[in-house]
């Protein structure tokens, strides 16, 4: 199964809301154009950065349809289908209209804390319900359950359409173990913006990014230079954008990135509970960092 479409910079898109909490369709179209024009390699719709747990299935379909229409086939689209009820996820493949979708991103089951065998059987069942490529998503900080390297590798070898893993464990030893032992064509994608450079240097294939929502061109430069082996330039771009990454997550995701996107006049910063907007202090810090990046000539805030 062809996997190159998932190399490079993927962006986990936020979901814009209006002041009444409804999906802000004009802002979603604007964000899609911003990402496509900024050189993003593929879009990830309705991952956790898109506040997917707070959207109904009908709303998720609306978001997907808007992005598919606005993208108009320019770059691949990955759709998030994840959760801790395997049977319900399998059913969703028949309820969602996935026309225009190139792959599925699925986070490991949260809260249940399944065994490694349970995680393996969950993904095997999920992948068998679709012909689309499936990207595993390991994010133990959110799910309280780590997909061990051995389980990722077992799925990569046993399940034809499990084609990649988004690794957000923060464990470079684990990431490198997967890279060392993975079958040919299986992709290892960073799930942490701040360690994308070392993951690519170790043999990884790119990132599914949060900061890329605001700065796709700048982060694409990090990823592309690293994939091409030009680590001098990759480090230059990496250290230019690094100061904004940690503050983005200081009070939860996507509150930080939505604050930056508001300042860049791409959308408002409304969130759905239980998430709330960032504090005034963090807002000031993020605005200052954003203006410094834009003053370097990368973006125009006007």
Least confident range of 22-26, 83-87, 263-267, 291-295 = 291-295
Residues 29/34/40/44 CA torsion (nearest 10 deg): -30
- Residues 240-294 have pLDDT tens digits of 999 999 999 999 999 999 999 999 999 999 999 999 999 999 999 999 999 988 8
Percentage of residues of the chain with pLDDT beyond 70 = 98
110 is catalytic: no
- Residues 260-274 have pLDDT tens digits of 999 999 999 999 999
What pLDDT was estimated at residue 1?
Answer: 72
What pLDDT was estimated at residue 3?
Answer: 79
- Residues 120-135 have pLDDT tens digits of 999 999 999 999 999 9
299 is catalytic: no
How deeply is 62 buried, as exposed, middle or buried, from its count of CB atoms within 10 A (0-12, 13-18, 19+)? Answer: middle
In this structure, how many other beta carbons lie within 10 angstroms of the beta carbon of residue 188? Answer: 22
Could you say which of 137, 258, 262, 299 is catalytic? 137
Between 171 and 3, where is the model more confident? Answer: 171
Residue (of 207, 235, 234, 218) closest to 7 by Cα position:
207
- Whether residue 300 has pLDDT greater than 70: no
What domains can you pick out in the chain, each with its CATH number? 4-228 (3.20.20.70)
Could you say which of 60, 166, 220, 262 is catalytic? 166
């Amino acid at each position: 199964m062809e996997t190159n479409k998932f190399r490079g910079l993927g962006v986990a898109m936020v979901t814009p809301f209006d002041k009444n909490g409804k999906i802000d369709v004009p802002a979603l179209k604007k964000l899609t154009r911003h990402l496509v024009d900024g050189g993003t390699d593929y879009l990830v719709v309705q991952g956790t950065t898109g506040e997917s747990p707070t959207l109904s299935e009908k709303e998720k379909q609306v978001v997907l349809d808007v992005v598919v229409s606005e993208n108009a086939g320019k770059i691949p689209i990955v759709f998030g289908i994840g959760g801790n009820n395997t049977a319900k996820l399998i059913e969703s493949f028949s309820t969602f209209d996935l026309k225009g979708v190139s792959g599925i991103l699925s986070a490991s089951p949260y809260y249940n804390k399944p065994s490694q065998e349970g995680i393996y059987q969950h993904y095997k069942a999920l992948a068998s319900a679709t012909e689309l490529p499936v990207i595993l998503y390991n994010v133990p900080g959110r799910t309280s359950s780590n997909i061990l390297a051995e389980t990722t590798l077992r799925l990569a070898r046993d399940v034809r359409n499990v084609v990649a893993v988004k690794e957000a464990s923060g464990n470079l030893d684990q990431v490198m173990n997967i890279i060392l032992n993975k079958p040919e064509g299986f992709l290892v994608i960073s799930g942490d913006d701040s360690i994308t450079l070392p993951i690519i240097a170790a043999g990884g294939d790119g990132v599914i990014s949060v900061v890329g929502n605001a700065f796709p061109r700048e982060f694409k430069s990090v990823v592309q230079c690293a994939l091409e082996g030009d680590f001098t330039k990759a480090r230059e771009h990496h250290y230019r954008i690094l100061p904004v990454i940690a503050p983005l997550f200081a009070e939860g995701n996507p509150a930080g990135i939505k604050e930056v996107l508001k300042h860049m006049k791409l959308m408002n910063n409304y969130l759905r509970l239980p998430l709330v907007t960032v504090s005034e202090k963090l807002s000031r810090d993020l605005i200052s960092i954003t203006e410094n990046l834009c003053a370097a000539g990368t973006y125009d805030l006007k």
